A and B are shown apart, each in its own frame.
Chain A
Amino acid sequence: MLSTTEGYMTPDGRQIGGVVMEMKNITLKFGGVTAIEDISFDIHEGEIRAIIGPNGAGKSSMLNVISGFYIPQQGEVFFRGAKRAQLKPFEVARQGIARTFQNIALFEGMSVLDNVMTGRLTHMKAGIISQSLWRGPAEREETENREICERVIDFLEIQSIRKTPVSRLPYGLKKRVELARALASEPKLLLLDEPMAGMNVEEKEDMSRFILDVNDEFGTTIALIEHDMGVVMDLSDRVVVMDYGKKIGDGTPNEVRNNQAVIDAYLGVSHD
C-alpha cells in the first residue's frame, strides 16, 4: 500500500508528486445515519484517485466534505500541507477545488458558454463601476477569461453548442459541459462525482479520454467516484473502497481487486 508523503512512479511511467489533500479520521453523521465513519486517506499531486463502493456507501458525502458542503462531526482536512479551517463552499472553490455533481447541477437558464464562464468567477475581480461601464479591467478580464474558456471548450469538443441554452442539451453533453465549467476554473484538485453515470459506451470512452487528457496535459489532480469497475481499473492510479460509511480498502486497482473485503462487499449484495 502506498501511503508515503513522497511521490511515486506509476506503472505507465508518470511521476506522481507528494500529498495535496489529506482526510484524517473523518466522521459524518446525519442524525442517526452515519454516512462516513472514521475514514482517512490522502490524494497525491497529479494522481487520479478513485472512490468506489456500493450505493449509499458515503462516496458523495465524502466529496461533499472535501468541497466544504458538509461539515464532518470529527476529523481534519489538510490541503497543500496546511490544516484547513472550516470553510464555506465558495471559499473552498477559491482555493482551487472544483467539482461536478452526481445529478447534473448546471445553470439551466444560461447558455453553454455562460455556464463555462461561471467557472471563471473566482478569477474575476473587476469592480462594480468598471463592470457597469464595461471599460478597463472589466472588459479586459472578460476577454482574457473568455480565451481560457474557449480553450476548455475546444479541448472538450463542444464548440458547436457554445451558444445553446444548456436546458436543450441531451444528458451526455450536459455532463461534458459540467466538466467544462469545472475545468474552466483551472482547479488544482478536480472532484468528479460519477462523471459517466447513465452514459452509453461511446460516451463513456469519450469521457474517459477527456479525464486522462486533463490529468496528462494540465497535470490536474483528480478524485473521482465511479461505479463501472472497468473504467476505474483503466483510469485510476489508486482506489479507496467504501462500504456502509467505512473504508474497506485502499491501494492500486490491482491490490483492491484482490482484496477479500472488497470482493465480499461487491459480491455479498448486488447493489447495482
Chain B
Amino acid sequence: MLYREAGDFSTTYREDNQTFPIRFDRYRYYAVMLIAFLVIPFFVNDYWVNAIFLPFLIYSIAALGLNILTGYCGQVSLGTGGFMAVGAYAVYKLMTAFPDISVLIHIVLAGGVTALVGILFGLPSLRIKGFYLAVATLAAQFFLVWVFNRIPWFYNYSASGQINAPERTFLGFTVTGAETKAWVAYLVCLVFVTISAIVARNMTRGALGRSWMAIRDMDIAAEIIGVNPLKAKLSAFAISSFFVGISGALYFSVYLGAVEVGEVFGINKSFLVLFMIIIGGLGSVFGSFIGAAFLVLLPVLLKNVLVGYFGWQTDVAAHLEFMIIGGLIVWFLIVEPHGLAQLWRLGKEKLRMWPFPY
C-alpha cells in the first residue's frame, strides 16, 4: 500500500493538471533528478558516459522530438537522421564562424535552424499523409545527407569531408573537443535533456498538444472544431525538428567530436529513433525516455552478457539484437502501440489496487 492515490485529492484544476498528480510519483521524480544532477557526475567514468549516458541522453532528445511529430501529431517521419545532420552542421558552421559566442547558444540556434528546415520539409504534409508522407520524409533524409556530402561549404572545405568540433569552453570547463571531461559532457547533455523534457511535457499537455492530437486522431473533425491544420502540422514539424536538431548538434559537438555525415546520420539513425518511440510509447514524453534507454542499453547488455560472459561471437550477438528489436517492434505495433510506457502505467494501476485486486 505504499503506492496509492487515496488521500491525494486535487482541489483545484491547477493541481489536477500537474505532471505528477500522485505524491509518490512526484517524490520519485525529485529523487531521480537529484541523483542525476548531484550523484552520478561524481561517479561516472569515460566508459559509462560514452557507452551509455551520452547516447541515452542525446537520443532521448531526438526521440522526444520525433514523438511530438509522430506520436502526438500523427505525421510519420523517416527523416530524423537528416534533421540531426542539419543540427550538427548548423552548430559546426556557427561554432567556426562565431568562435566567441558560447557553444551552448550555438546548440540552441542549431535547433532553430533545424526547425526552419523542418517547416520546409513539413510543407508536403499539408497535402499528403501516411505512407506518402513517410516516403517524402525519406526523400528529405537522402537529400539532406547528399547536400552535406556534396557541398564543401558545409564542411568548410576540409580535405576529409568530415566535420570536427573545435574546442570550446563554458564557464572555464571544456565542453567540446578532445579534452572534454566525461562528467562535463554528461552534465551539459543532462541540462539540455531536462529542459527539453519539461518543454515537451508543457507543450503536449496544453492547447498546442491537443490540437496536434486532434489532427492525429481525426484531421477532418479537428479542422471542423476549429484547428488550423496548417498551423498545427507545421508547428509540430518545427518543434519536433528543433529538438531533433539540438540532439544532432549535441551528438556531433559534445559526443562524437567528428562526423562523417553518411555514416553517422544515415537512414539507420532515422529508423533507430523511430524504433525508440515505438518501443517506448507513441504519444508519451516518458516513453521517449524508456525507448531511448532500451535501445541504448540492449546492445551494451547483449555484448557484455553474451560476448563477455558466455563467449559468443560478436556478430552472432549483433544478429540476436536485430531479431529482438524486430520482434519487439512487431509485437508493440500490434499489441501495445503505447509501448513500454503503457505497460509501466498498467503495472502502476495494478499496484494501486494491490493487495486487493477489486
Contact = CB atoms under 8 A, between A and B. Distances in A.
A155 interface: no
Interface residues of B, number: 32
B227 interface: yes
Nearest to A181: B225
Contacts of A141: 207
Q: Which of B16, B207, B220, B224 has the most CB of A within 10 A?
A: B224
A92 to B, nearest CB: 8
A89 B16 CA distance: 32
Interface residues on chain A, size class: 35 or more
A128 interface: yes
A205 to B, nearest CB: 27
B221 interface: yes
Contacts of A150: 13
A78 interface: no
Contacts of A138: 202, 206-207
A122 B223 CA distance: 11
A12 to B, nearest CB: 32
Nearest to B211: A121
Contact of A90 (B16, B218, B224, B239): B224
Contacts of A110: 210, 213-214, 217
B69 to A, nearest CB: 15
A89 B224 contact: yes
B184 to A, nearest CB: 27
Given A90-B224, A109-B283, A121-B211, A142 B218 contact: no
Interface string B220-243: 111111111100000100010000
Contacts of A121: 207, 210-211, 214, 225-227
Contacts of B214: 107, 110, 118, 121
Interface in B164-220: 199, 202-203, 205-208, 210-211, 213-214, 216-218, 220
SS of A interface (majority): helix
Given A109-B283, A131-B206, A93 B17 contact: no
A90 B207 contact: no
Contacts of A105: 218, 220-221, 224
A108 B16 CA distance: 22
Contacts of A143: 12-14, 17
A94 B227 CA distance: 9
Given A107-B217, A109-B217, A114 B210 contact: yes
B354 to A, nearest CB: 21
Contacts of A119: 225
Given A118-B211, A131-B207, A150-B13, A185 B217 contact: no
B17 A146 contact: yes
A131 B17 CA distance: 13
B231 to A, nearest CB: 9
Contacts of B221: 101, 105-107
A249 B218 CA distance: 35
B216 A94 contact: no
A151 to B, nearest CB: 12
B147 to A, nearest CB: 28
Contacts of A128: 203, 208, 235, 239
Interface of A: 67-69, 88-90, 92-94, 98-99, 101, 105-110, 114, 117-122, 124, 126, 128, 131-134, 138-139, 141-143, 146-147, 150, 181-182, 185
Q: Closest 4 interchain pairs by CB?
A: A93-B226, A105-B221, A107-B217, A122-B226
18 contacts: A69-B220, A93-B225, A94-B226, A98-B225, A99-B224, A105-B218, A105-B224, A107-B218, A110-B217, A121-B207, A121-B225, A121-B227, A126-B207, A131-B202, A131-B203, A132-B202, A138-B206, A185-B225
Given A118-B214, A128-B235, 7 more contacts: A105-B218, A107-B218, A110-B217, A122-B225, A133-B199, A134-B206, A142-B13
